[in-house]
């Protein structure tokens, strides 16, 4: 089975290239599909030819993990859905994705690396579907938007709030509605 990460991009200008993956992470993907069109060479950097909303699907080489720096600095990335097959997110994976506003992380996640979402200054909503809190690296959710909320399963609310790593975000953690 293939694991795909579905990401939404909002392209405000086509004169400035919008990064769709970190140049060092192209070996993490077997295929990239942009707006339904499969791109033939993952090593290439792609630019969007029109402004507005675009859907990008990344097929992962390792179906269980997102690698280090995979989406680092993806300036146009607005939302990402991480499927249930993913068990780990590498360090710095989404660092400095400044347009990113929402993230949904599937129920199999067991670890999220150092600074994975650091510098995501637009990030207001993080949903973690795992009932057991994943281990967190340092600075995982540093420098997010003020008023950011982390949504977790209702039956695990108190566990998240008191677990090492998560407890520093306790005031932001709420039950999934």
Walk along the chain (177 residues) and give the pLDDT tens digit of each residue. Answer: 689 999 999 999 888 888 888 887 888 999 999 999 998 888 877 888 899 999 999 999 999 999 999 999 898 999 999 999 999 999 999 999 999 999 999 999 999 999 999 999 999 999 999 999 999 999 999 999 999 999 999 999 999 999 999 999 999 999 998
User: What is d(CA 77, CA 72) in angstroms, rounded to the nearest whole number?
Assistant: 10
CB atoms within 10 A of CB 66: 28
Res 93: pLDDT: 96
Tokens of 79: 């939302």
- Cα within 13 Å of Cα(138), Cβ side: 0
Q: What's this model's pTM, rounded to 2 decimal places?
A: 0.92
Predicted local distance difference test score (pLDDT) of residue 1: 66
Within 10 A of 30 (CB to CB), how many other CB atoms are there?
14
Instruction: State how far the Cα of 78 lies from the Cα of 22, in Å rounded to an integer.
Output: 16
CB-based burial, 118-139: b 16+ in 10 Å, e otherwise: bbbeebeebbbbbeebbbbbeb
Residues of the chain by 3-state class (helix, strand, coil), percent to 5: 10, 30, 55
23/70 Cα distance (integer angstroms): 8
């Amino acid at each position: 089975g293939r694991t795909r990460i579905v990401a939404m991009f909002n392209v405000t200008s086509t004169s400035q290239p919008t990064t769709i993956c970190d140049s060092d992470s192209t070996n993490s993907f077997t295929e990239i599909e942009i707006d339904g069109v499969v791109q033939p060479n993952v090593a290439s950097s792609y630019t969007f030819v029109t402004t507005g909303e675009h859907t990008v699907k990344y097929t992962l080489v390792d179906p269980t993990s997102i690698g280090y720096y995979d989406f680092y600095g993806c300036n146009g990335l607005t939302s990402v859905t991480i499927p249930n097959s993913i068990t780990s997110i590498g360090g710095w994976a989404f660092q400095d994705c400044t347009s990113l506003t929402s993230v949904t992380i599937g129920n199999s996640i067991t670890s999220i690396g150092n600074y994975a979402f650091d510098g995501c200054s637009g990030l207001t909503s993080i949903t973690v579907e795992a009932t057991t809190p994943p281990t967190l690296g340092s600075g995982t959710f540093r420098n997010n938007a003020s008023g950011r909320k982390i949504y977790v399963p209702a039956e695990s609310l108190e566990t998240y709030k008191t677990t090492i790593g998560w407890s520093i975000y306790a005031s932001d953690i709420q039950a999934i509605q």
